[in-house]
Amino acid sequence: MALLNFRKREKFTPANGQIEALLEGYSIEVMPRTAEKVENFRDLLPAGTRVYIAHIEGTPIEEMVSTAARLARDGYPVMPHFPARIIKDRATLQDWIGRYQGEAGVDQALLLAGGVSQPYGDFESAIQLLESGEFDRAGFKRLHVAGHPEGNRDIDPDGSMKNVEEALRWKQKFSETTDAEMALATQFAFEAKPIIQWADGLKSAGITLPIHIGIAGPAKLQTLIKFAIACGVGPSLKVLQKRAMDVTKLLLPYEPTEVLAELAAHKAATPGFNIEHVHFFPLGGIKTNAEWAIANGGPKAAPANAS
């Protein structure tokens, strides 16, 4: 079950167009500070690529909105994070929504609890943000919520999936009452088989929200391990740690070729498989990730002179 590719970078030809199909319509995540380093997103990303903007604790809302406005001007659908635990109250939530809509025309969002342990104020979870009704009142067309293929110790400290699964059942019911389209955007993982088992298990449990599967983009192994630990990646982290014990492999870049190939093959062979799109975490850099996606069958970047 070796699903990681630590070989030197080489051109990969997807089998029967399977990876091309899976990479079609991929999304990618940026932060204001990483976006500042990109001179022109249209040199890197296909037209219409959904760009998530991660809201890290301490980032001023002005920087978030400015990044959203820049991406929107370039023609990209923007999906900012709304981390519940750093939103103090309903007035703050309304203010953020108003700024995003007024300055960047935002009509979609990723709602999540956020990485801080203690809430700043009234909100603690994505469920509370949905219950507020503010996104429906503002006419948001798409709302994504978090998925955890390997569980989440912040939500289930005992290592089970009990609370995560209960929250997903609630979100499934909510999706049947809102006019917004909903989907799960997941944490990244490194093994395809557990991802497939998790996705199939959700469907069997009646949770039919489409899955946008989180994939770590190309990066140095040391960088990847650092982010994986910080983000609470589960059992598949052990695969990276085992590889890191081999000094020769430690120096080689990680690429997600094999995990994507296995997911793509399963999707091609399984009608109704509920993983709909790939969501990239560009841990080795936006440019590196975007170029890798193009080289491995993904759609080409927008023309540099696009208006």
pLDDT tens digits, 154-168: 665 666 677 888 999
The first and second tokens of residue 168, run together, are 């997903």
- What phi-psi label fits residue 25: left (phi over 0), alpha (psi between -120 and 50 degrees) or beta? left
Mean pLDDT of the chain: 86
Cα four-point dihedral sign 250, 240, 1, 183: negative
* In the chain, beta strands by DSSP E: 27-30, 51-53, 78-83, 108-112, 142-147, 181-188, 211-216, 219-220, 253-254, 275-281
On the question of pLDDT at 277 being above 50, the answer is: yes
Confidence of residue 101 (pLDDT cuts 50, 70, 90): very high
DSSP assignment string, 116-175: -SS-SSS--SHHHHHHT-HHHHTT-SEEEEEE-TT--TTT-TTS-SHHHHHHHHHHHHHH
> How many whole angstroms separate alpha carbon 252 and alpha carbon 243?
10
pLDDT tens digits, 279-303: 999 989 999 999 999 999 899 987 6
For 15-295, CATH gives 3.20.20.220
Q: Are the beta carbons of 15 and 258 closer than 8 angstroms?
A: no
Higher pLDDT, 37 or 251: 37
For the ranges 69-73, 81-85, 238-242, 261-265, which has the lowest average pLDDT?
A: 238-242
- Note the pLDDT of residue 94: 98
Percent of the chain with pLDDT over 70: 80
